[in-house]
A and B are shown apart, each in its own frame.
Chain A
């Protein structure tokens, strides 16, 4: 089975983020970068498919030299190839541009299953996997929590999250699946995997070789400002003992017309 995993490197949002002086971006110097947490479910699922059916995994990302760290983590987690598409020539990119680039590279690789995170935790647009599927004209199932692939019939059954529950869906392969939390529990890299990741060469591709017109790579949306969301005002602790506290709370909620 030929598996492709699309990876993104994101700032660790667990730390305090600072907005740059021009308020268009965050400060990116000296902050920790990690693999997008949803992509960890994607790479784990790829590993499980490889263990079950054999085959190989190619991890792909678009970015600068720094992103090679997350590509190496993918190798440590079972990727047999790691591809970085250099984006130094691009000032800005939106999801549409990223997916066009990824789809163009994937087009030249053999694949049965493409796995992505359902969204990245930086901008959280949740668009790239679905767009890649469109550019490749193949099915996409987004936010999956279960995947059962059948290589003999070349199809897959998944559970996809919807409001209030799940849908059981079926599609033919090749297809794109975007991973939701709950799909699996990602494992840690093995020592031998980490050793392998240190040695393996990362393949580097130039965007210029992909045959795009400059207009294809012009962003269609732009961030004009970043700000800190308004802080909520600290409320009040209802002092006293039961049942008075509960009574007082209900009185306040009624007055505020929320019940």
Chain B
């Protein structure tokens, strides 16, 4: 095994390492096995010992960049620290999640390093080199890409495209890095975080999404979908029509101009299935459509369809799921 390393940049929240980070570790392992390299994780923050420990139970090597100015995320301070560490250690590939965070600072990192960056990948093939797959043209086409030259290569991975099972039995080494940061390095200061989804999981990480369209007839009726999503431990989403009508904020929108999701189970209620919506959810593992209109295009891609009034179907479905779960 060579001394070269493939890195994952970890993302976390108060509750611990984000699920999307475990998925990137799974991708890093696959690449490390092929190239005969080691995989390591980098984590930035302050006073996050417990979260670093969580990582060290899965990976042999963790670079823990710790500084009081890293207590809150800022793109420029992240890039400054990472750039220095990359110059020192020369990793061959750097992987991060294509989350809002990853999308915010990774382009800046790639520009500072002047190196190739392929964002929002959904998979890869290893032949003579790595060929990365990503959706283009609003999900209508799939592109295969490769890096041209100089390393490191930077990749971000769309959440829920790789599976990871935690082992918890590694005793990884944690290398402490103390970066040279000053107050003036912080370019963007976070003042406040406002949650819109309440206690429900975020759309991109949720196993189950219950989504409503124009057929919901009004904002108040989304209570019914919240109830259904709660019995399944899922998230609530919406079509563009719902957001344009002002029934729900844009952060709930699934589709080409909203969020792209890939849950295990997607239940579309009163959604006709316009191409712009399908672009955001057609990679879901199992799709259920409930719609009065038997000609709704959503039925063409749904695994199971019920042609009926959703206001009658959903309450019965909630009871049946409750019964099935007990």
Contacts and interface: CB of A to CB of B under 8 A. Distances in A.
Given A181-B258, A250-B317, A221 B142 contact: no
A69 B12 CA distance: 44
Interface in B114-149: 114-120, 131, 135-149
Contact of B148 (A19, A126, A220): A220
A49 interface: no
Contacts, number: 259
Contacts of B115: 220
B257 A37 contact: yes
B99 interface: yes
A21 interface: no
B316 interface: yes
B107 A95 contact: yes
A249 B324 CA distance: 11
Interface stretch (A1-9, A135-143, A195-203): A135-143
B110 interface: yes
By size class, the interface of chain B is: 35 or more
Contacts of B144: 223-227
Interface string A163-192: 111111111100100001110000000000
Contacts of A133: 108
Interface string A106-121: 0000000000000001
A17 B308 contact: no
A89 to B, nearest CB: 19
Nearest to B191: A168
Interface size class of A (residues with CB under 8 A): 35 or more
A243 B147 CA distance: 54
A137 B287 CA distance: 45
A150 to B, nearest CB: 14
Interface stretch (A50-58, A77-85, A229-237): A229-237
B190 A127 contact: no
B307 A237 contact: yes
Interface string B273-288: 0011000001001111
Nearest to A156: B188
B190 A232 contact: no
B100 A143 contact: yes
